[in-house]
A and B are shown apart, each in its own frame.
Chain A
């Protein structure tokens, strides 16, 4: 597709369940970011992938959170044993590093609600 695609757009789950959120970046973009945005708040950095380099996981809030990026393209963010405080919009962004640095293209986000 033309833009960053995220799925599901909405996810309601029960506390304690695992969830997977998917991001399909713009084709050819080497950098991929995950952010979390709580209601009306700013962007909280979670994880950053760049090409084949080791990901920067410094923003993951706990070991219940993990992410992978297969084949340098699609990424999956996994949250295990979800808690109510995990409720937020999870935004994915991609960037072509050889273009203007920092010019991220964001998806529309996956809204997670943990009951």
Chain B
């Protein structure tokens, strides 16, 4: 079935450092989304990208929809302790897919040292 390759699997960084993570796929998606999950909570949507090449920012977060429609990255600038959590990418197809047309990556676990 369809898969998203998300990397890195985990990151241990110092407060203040920038973070970069990405997702790639062999399939084309119409929408790329990035979610964050904190301990004991469900994932929460951070950024949604709807057009190839789109670059969107949300505070210290920046995400891009790859021009080939097969990849996306998420950057976090000047990390702070509350950035800790698991970050998931997700690709959505408008039709023709399974799983409700939505595929999730396996997540990037971010740990931040004060």
Contact = CB atoms under 8 A, between A and B. Distances in A.
Contacts of B35: 104
Contacts, number: 65
Nearest to A4: B42
Interface residues of A, number: 26
A101 B50 CA distance: 9
Given A42-B88, A100-B48, A100-B50, A108 B40 contact: yes
B99 A45 contact: yes
Interface of B: 30-31, 33, 35, 40-45, 48, 50, 88, 90-92, 94, 98-102, 104-107, 109
Interface of A: 4, 31, 33, 35, 40-43, 45, 48, 50, 56, 58-59, 91, 93, 100-109
13 contacts: A31-B100, A33-B102, A35-B104, A42-B88, A42-B105, A43-B88, A43-B104, A48-B99, A48-B100, A59-B99, A103-B33, A104-B43, A105-B45
